[in-house]
Amino acid sequence: MVQSFIDRTVHGVVTQLAAERGDDVFLYFGEQQYSYVDIHAAATRVAAGLSQLGVARGDKVAIMMGNRPEYLFCWFGLSMLGAVEVPLNTAHKGQLLAYMLNQADCGTLVIEADYLVQLEAVLPTLDKLRHVVVLGEPGGGLPGVAAFGWDAVVANDGVFQAPKVLRSDPCAIMFTSGTTGPSKGAVLPQNYQLAMAEIICKMAQYTCGDRLYNALPLFHGNAQTLSTMPALISGASMVLKPRFSASDFWVDVRRYGCTEFNYIGGILAILLKADPQPDDADNPLRVLVGAGANKQVFEAFEERFAVRLVEGYGMSEIGAPLNTSLADRRPGSCGTLNPGYQIRLVDDDGDEVAADTPGELLVRPLRPHAMMQEYYGMPEKTVEAWQDLWFHTGDCLQYDADGYYYFIDRKKDALRRRGENISSFEVERGVNSHPAVLESAAVAVRSELGEDEVMICVALRPGSSLTAEALVAHCEQEMAYFMVPRYVRFMQKLPKTPTERVQKYLLREAGVTADTFDREEARHARA
């Protein structure tokens, strides 16, 4: 890893490496190549252009783009201005898209033209949005806002009045999945990005000779803090792909000579499902960094593809308090305590549990500005999360006699599918918007790929009728594709406590019943 950074900000890293690495290639995107100097120069033009629109230190600017170099330019340019990046999942639409833009006080949005139709549908409800910068063919006008083309905004000499940006300044608001309420925007300081990247570099022992393969969406923290920033601070290079493709993965890895990849969710299981090839082990990958691989998948992947896996536990709010390393690995474990944190495992009464006993993980940092600052605009949720001055993760883990920790389950009602965190509250809100639905409850069903599938249990309004296919079609109009339930179960009524709270644990225990509709099974039957 390169030497320590005096300016512990995202743009400080970019500026320093542009001076040190110059014309060395940092980014590969298809046939395009960008040096450290190129990246820095493009970011300064974005900063200058947005500054001319009035974007200043502390302003919230949303980005709604797929994986492309311009996303990096915008992210780094916002950091130069001291503005706050608000990454938006490109699949979001409807109420959820409007909620995130309004909740984060976004006055400016940089959007790829492909997603304008989603914006246009909610534009009348965006009372805080003033400027929209469109990358690509803008099409028609956008009523109520000032629209600008990307090319016009970045057509400048890169000169602007740079403010003093501190490591403690907010860098991003990343929305995390809501559980009993709307999604919350975690405010992350500049130093958070570096602190996370340093953990990953130490885990995987990155050097300037590494080349990281980044096929996860840049609007997620994983692609930013676990791939892009580690590549930067180690002086390495990065291959950026529009999206992950199992069929392209090994072709790309060999073509670009990639030495590292960050995996999430069921990616390892998907790659293992491919028919074995005689050259499976003949690849340049050195290490894969991720989480959630069970012991069987962990060992099978390493043996077949001749790579080493390192894993950890983390979340957007806290970073990575537990991790393994190349020198200290235990399949199935998310590792040991990182020295930058304190942790506790506690029972429901807040008392610490013994070894081999599940308990909720509580975390606090030992270094400044290494965790989230707050949930933006939600002081009561911030206080709730930080009970007794410990951050309550809502996740259950246990540890063994050697101090290795193991993830057990989520206490929260959030789901995780194909690497996406999903709010049960927001799935239910979308389902409940159907006029035939009285109420619903979204629960996780274990997937064959090792994560969750979304199951929705539905009670209809008296006298109403609705098919599972029609409800799924409604969901496809109301929510992102990864949120659409795979399983639909109609019930006379949902199980509840005497205080009318839905007993989701009963629904989870019942799982997929004989009368449950399976969207995937129906699709295969039609095919």
Query: Burial, 481: exposed, middle or buried (Cβ in 10 Å; 0-12, 13-18, 19+)?
Result: exposed
Q: How far apart are CA 306 and CA 300, in angstroms?
A: 10
pLDDT of residue 182: 78
Q: Residue 56 is which amino acid?
A: A
The CATH number for 141's domain is 3.40.50.980
Residue 384 lies in a domain: no
The pLDDT-based confidence of 97 (bands split at 50, 70, 90) is: very high
Last residue within a domain, chosen from 165, 181, 203: 165
Last residue within a domain, chosen from 165, 181, 204: 165
The CATH number for 481's domain is 3.30.300.30
Residue 481 lies in a domain: yes
Sign of the dihedral through C-alpha 323, 328, 330, 331:
positive
The pLDDT-based confidence of 339 (bands split at 50, 70, 90) is: very high
Average pLDDT over residues 196-225: 95
Query: Burial, 18: exposed, middle or buried (Cβ in 10 Å; 0-12, 13-18, 19+)?
Result: buried
Residue 260 lies in a domain: no
Please report, in angstroms and rounded to a whole number, the separation of the first and last CA atoms in the chain.
51
- Please give the mean pLDDT across all residues of the chain: 92
Q: How far apart are CA 134 and CA 138, in angstroms?
A: 6
Residue 105 lies in a domain: yes
pLDDT at 501 over 80: no
Residue 450 lies in a domain: yes
Residue 189 lies in a domain: no
List beta partners, residue 25: 35
Furthest-apart CA atoms within the chain: distance in Å = 71
Length of the chain: 527
pLDDT of residue 525: 81
Residue 466 lies in a domain: yes
Domains in the chain, number: 2
Predicted model pTM: 0.84
Residue 300 lies in a domain: no
309-320 per-position pLDDT tens digit: 999 999 999 999
pLDDT at 498 over 60: no
What is the chain's alpha carbon radius of gyration, rounded to the nearest angstrom? 23
Q: How far apart are CA 133 and CA 448, in angstroms?
A: 41
181-207 per-position pLDDT tens digit: 678 999 999 999 999 999 999 999 999
Last residue within a domain, chosen from 118, 142, 165: 165
Q: How far apart are CA 175 and CA 356, in angstroms?
A: 33
Structural domain boundaries enclosing 501: 415-526
